[in-house]
Amino acid sequence: MSLGIDEIIDNFSFIDDWEERYRYVIELGRDLEELSEADKSDLNKVQGCVSQVWLVSHQQQGPDGPVLTFKGDSDAHIVKGLVAITLSIFSGQSAKTIENLDAEAIFSQIGLRDHLTPQRSNGLSAMLERIKADARAAIQVG
């Protein structure tokens, strides 16, 4: 079962060593639900990531507009953990909430941005932009 972002932030606060934090990120990625081979398509591939990253979004109508849920995967262990953290922030939120969420602040709070390589940082930004784009598209459709 995946953890909520508050629990992940709390767990990070108890881990001082960055080697241990990386292990925790990898562990989070191992808990992600597997994507089907059909979901690992070019359509779902996140552009701008050095590693292969796939995001699948599903939309349903909620009381306050569209609600988006996400599934994701990567072929790299740490990136897969970053996908898990990202999904814990956004999945199950309304499109309007997603559009206004400041995921960068959350990643800064747990110190991840300072410890990512530039390539991983760029890939994370590409993932965040893809999720926001899906939310904007859901709002437009409506």
Read off the tokens for 54: 């796939």
| Three-state secondary structure call for residue 126 | helix
**Neighbour order of strands in the sheet with 93-94:** 53-62, 65-74, 93-94
- The dihedral formed by the CA atoms of 49, 79, 113 and 104, expressed in degrees to the nearest 10: 80
DSSP, collapsed to helix, strand or coil, labels residue 15 as: coil
Q: Which residues are catalytic?
A: 49
Amino acid in position 125: S
Burial 76-114 (b: 16+ CB within 10 A, else e): bbbbbbbbbbbbbbbbebbbbebeebebeebbeebebee
